Amino acid sequence: MLAAPLAIVALAYGSALVTGLTLQKRAVDFFDPAQGGGSMFDNATFGGEPLNVIISGQSDPEVLTDDGIANFAKAIGFSKECLGFHLGAPQTANLGDGNGSVNQTIEFRQDFGNDVLGTCLESLVGGNHFRVFRQNGPQANSGALFLAASKEEPASQNHDIIPDGYNIGRDELVASAVGTKSHGGITYNVVAKNITGLMPAGSEGVNHGIAVDGIVTLLTVTIQK
C-alpha cells in the first residue's frame, strides 16, 4: 500500500528517490539510453543535438530536482531564458527509460553574470546554452540529467550553432562547472569524467551537419555540507 503514495511523493521531488521526506542518492550514474531503445541525440529541426553532458544520478539528489538544477545552473553562469520566455518549440529526447520521447524539462542560457537579465543578452549576441532531460522512467530510473549543450550565433544569425558548437558548448559548460561553485547559499563540488563509446563521432544525423567528437562528459555534483 505504500508504493503508490511514495511514487507520488518522488515525482513531486523531481523524481529523486524519497524515504519519508529525505531525498536518497541513486545507485548508478546513468543508464545507456541505447540499451532501452533511446539515443544520445535529441530530436531537433535538422537532425539531433548531442546529449553531451550528463549530471550523474549519484550526485546529491537535491541537485537533480527542478529547483536544484536551476540553482546549480546559476552557480556556473546560466539562468532560465530571458524573462521566462522560450522561443521555438521544445526539443524532445528518448533516454531509453520507458517514457519514450519526451519534451526537454528546462533550458538554460549563459547569463554573463546577471541571473535576471543576462540571458536576454545571450539571446541577442549569442553564447552557450543547454537543454535538460531527466532519465526517470520505469525501465531506467537513474534520475540522471542529460544535457544538450551547444554554443550559438547571435539573433542576427538566427541562433544557428557556431562551427564546432556542440563540442565547444560542452567544453565551456564543463570548464565553468568543475571545482567549487556557489549560489543561493549552496556550495557545490563538481568533478568531471570524459566517456567515450556512448555516442558516435561524426556529423551523420547531427543537427545542421555539425560534427561531434563522440565524447560525453559526466559531472558528479555534491553539495558541501
Q: What residues are paired with 171 via a beta bridge?
A: none
The domain limits of the chain are: 26-223
For the chain, the residue count is 225
**Cα–Cα distance for residue pair 93/34, rounded to 1 Å:** 12
pLDDT digits (tens, 9 = 90+) for 6-65: 332 333 334 455 444 457 777 899 999 999 999 999 998 788 999 999 999 999 999 999
Q: What residues are paired with 223 via a beta bridge?
A: 188
CA dihedral 101, 102, 103, 106 (to 10 degrees): -130
**Cα–Cα distance for residue pair 164/5, rounded to 1 Å:** 46
**The three three-digit cell numbers of residue 21, written as one number:** 521526506
Owner of C-alpha cell 555534483 = 221
pLDDT digits (tens, 9 = 90+) for 71-128: 999 999 998 866 555 455 679 999 999 999 999 999 998 877 766 665 666 666 667 9
Q: List, in order, residues 6 or more apart from 39 with CB less than 8 Å away.
A: 33, 48, 93, 94, 96
pLDDT at 182 exceeding the cut of 60: yes
